[in-house]
Each structure stands twice: as C-alpha cells, then as structure tokens.
C-alpha cells in the first residue's frame, strides 16, 4: 500500500471518528481517547464537560447458599402402603390364554360345566378367607363376619384357594374362552395381589366383549392396586355405567380421594418449579450486572471506531 493510500485510509477513519464524537462527545473523556483529548486541548479546542455517570441499575443479589423456604422445598409424592410395586404385581410365568377364536364343541361345554363349578367353589373359599363373598358369588353380595382369630387363619389359607381357582379358570378358558371366564380369573388375580396379570385378563375379556362391566371393574381395581389412579377412575367409571356395583362404588370414592391428593401434589410441585425459575432468573440478572462494565463507555477500545483499529 502506498503512502497516499495510507493517508487516505487514515483520513477516512478520522472522519468516521469525528462523526461518532459529534454524536457522543462524552466519549472524549474515556481512557481510550485521553491522548486525542489532550491534543484537542493543546490546539485550543473547548471540550464539553463530562456527564455525570448514571449508577448501574440495582439488581437484587441472589445468594446461592440461601436456604430454600418451606414452600420451595421439594416434597416427595406421598407413598401409599396399599400400592403394589410392579416387581411384585405379576405371575411368573404369565397365565395361559387359550384360543379366543375357538368354537367350543358340545363336549367342551359339558366339561366346562363341571370345571366351572370347581373354579367357583375355590374362588368362593378364597373370598371367604378374606371375610366376604363378593364379585364371584351371588347377587346381591353376601358378607360373612368372623372373629379376628378365625379370620386371620382363613386369610392365610385363601391365597392357595385363589391359585387353585386360577388353575381351574385357565382350564375353563381353554374349553370355553368367554369374556366372563377371563374376567373371573382376573378377579382372582386381584385377590392374589397380582394386578398386572389381572389387567391382561381384563383386556382379553374386553376384546371379546367391549361391554363387559365386570372386565372394566377388574381393570379398574388392578390399576388402583398399582397406584394408577387416573386409569383406575376411568375404568371403574365405565364399568359402573355399564353395570352398577355397590362394591365398586366404594372403591371409586377411594380412587377419587387419591386423585385429589395427586392433583394437590402436582399443583404444589408446579408452584415450587416456578419459584425455582424465578430464583434462577434473578441469579442470571445479578451475574449479568456484575459482568457489565459501565465505566468503559467505549466498547472494544479503539476498535469501536470502524477503520481505526490500526491507528
């Protein structure tokens, strides 16, 4: 580059600088332009006084170590002792389902009649062990009451009765795969506290009969045992619409109470998350204010003037 070109570039940069200083004469008081101000004063120029610097906006400081308020502390979801962990909620191996498309013969129906009687007897014995005879028994339900000692003994025996009933219902399903048979076996799984197995049977029953109120109730009870309160509420409600059951109504009330508790917990968790978000925003604002250099007045040094980086 020739000397003439250097001078032309310098003049252009100086013109640009002068235009900037005309618009913001207070920049002459910045450390970066001290040499230029001295030169102008030496030439008799009148420099306008520096404007009073505005204080940095006050930003509320946020202490990271500040303890959380009681409202901000995370509150765990209440644990329901009646909810069955999924690791304990299934049978192994999974129950047999038979062939749902099978057309039973007369011989199948005859055999099924005898097997059904045995299945119902074992299921009723199991229910008696729990102190009542409900879904698998007569209508209306019949309730039996025992002394504490007798009830304790029969409850201990009831699990084996239900396992026997499941085996009989499985045999019955192989002979006559009906929605009622699947739903009855599912109810046995409910009593055995195996809700995942019960849900499979309820789903199978609903495939065969979408209007099976009992299948919906079985699935609703299973979802309640798993703590799936929303699903339990939907299934129990649908089952009641199809075929009202007083026992299911009592469970509906319990599920509704659990749903209310869940919604309150979710609302509290949302409020805590919002407070944490506000705290984080304040912290970010405080950090930004601390990093902002309000005294430089001339961002980037001399690079703030286009073309003067090399002067």
The DSSP annotation for 94-157 comes to PPP---TT----HHHHHHHHHHHHHHHHHHHHHHHHTTEE-TTS-SS-EE----HHHHHHHHHH
For the stretch 9-33, pLDDT in tens is 878 877 887 788 777 787 778 888 7
The pTM (predicted TM-score) of the whole model is 0.58
More confident residue, 159 or 63: 159
Backbone angles phi, psi at 142, to 5 degrees: -110, 130
Q: What angle do CA 306, 309, 311 make, to 5 degrees?
A: 115
Q: What is the mean pLDDT of the chain?
A: 76
229-242 and 246-291 are packed helices; what angle lies between their axes, rounded to 10 degrees?
A: 150
Alpha-carbon gap, residue 167 to 192, rounded angstroms: 13
Q: In the prediction, which pLDDT does 230 show?
A: 93
Residue in the block written with tokens 């499941």: 166
Alpha-carbon gap, residue 63 to 137, rounded angstroms: 66
Q: What angle do CA 257, 263, 266 make, to 5 degrees?
A: 145
Judged by DSSP in three states, 300 sits in coil
Q: In the prediction, which pLDDT does 57 show?
A: 56
Q: What is the DSSP letter of 211?
A: T
Residue 196: other Cβ atoms inside 10 A? 17
For the stretch 32-76, pLDDT in tens is 878 878 888 888 878 888 777 666 555 555 555 555 555 556 667
Alpha-carbon gap, residue 286 to 215, rounded angstroms: 59
Query: Quick one: tokens of 147?
Result: 């002394």
Q: How far is CA 253 from the centre of its chain?
A: 23
The H-assigned helical ranges of the chain are 3-23, 34-42, 106-129, 148-175, 179-191, 195-208, 213-225, 229-242, 246-291
């Amino acid at each position: 580059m020739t000397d003439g070109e250097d001078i032309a570039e310098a003049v252009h940069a100086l013109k640009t600088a002068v235009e900037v200083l005309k618009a913001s004469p207070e920049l002459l008081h910045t450390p970066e332009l001290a040499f230029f101000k001295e030169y102008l004063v030496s030439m008799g120029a009148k420099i306008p006084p520096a404007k009073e610097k505005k204080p940095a906006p006050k930003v509320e400081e946020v202490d990271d170590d500040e303890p959380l308020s009681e409202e901000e502390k995370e509150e765990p979801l209440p644990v329901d002792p009646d909810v069955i962990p999924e690791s304990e909620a299934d049978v192994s191996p999974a129950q047999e389902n038979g062939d749902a498309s099978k057309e039973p013969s007369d011989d199948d129906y005859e055999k099924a009649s005898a097997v059904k009687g045995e299945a119902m007897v074992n299921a009723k014995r199991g229910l008696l062990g729990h102190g009542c005879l409900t879904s698998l028994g007569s209508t209306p339900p019949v309730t039996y009451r025992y002394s504490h000692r007798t009830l304790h003994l029969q409850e201990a025996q009831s699990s084996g009765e239900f396992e026997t009933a499941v085996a009989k219902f499985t045999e019955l399903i192989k002979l006559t795969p009906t929605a009622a048979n699947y739903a009855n076996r599912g109810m046995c799984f409910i009593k055995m506290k195996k809700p995942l197995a019960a849900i499979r049977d309820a789903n199978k029953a609903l495939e065969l009969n979408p209007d099976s109120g009992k299948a919906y109730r079985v699935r609703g009870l299973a979802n309640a045992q798993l703590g799936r309160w929303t699903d339990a509420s939907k299934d129990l409600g649908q089952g009641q619409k199809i075929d009202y059951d007083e026992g299911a109504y009592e469970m509906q009330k319990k599920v509704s109470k659990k749903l209310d508790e869940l919604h309150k917990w979710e609302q509290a968790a949302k409020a805590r998350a919002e407070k944490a978000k506000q705290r984080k925003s304040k912290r970010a604002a405080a950090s930004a204010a601390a990093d902002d250099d309000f005294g430089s007045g001339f961002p980037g040094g001399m690079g703030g003037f286009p073309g003067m980086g090399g002067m």
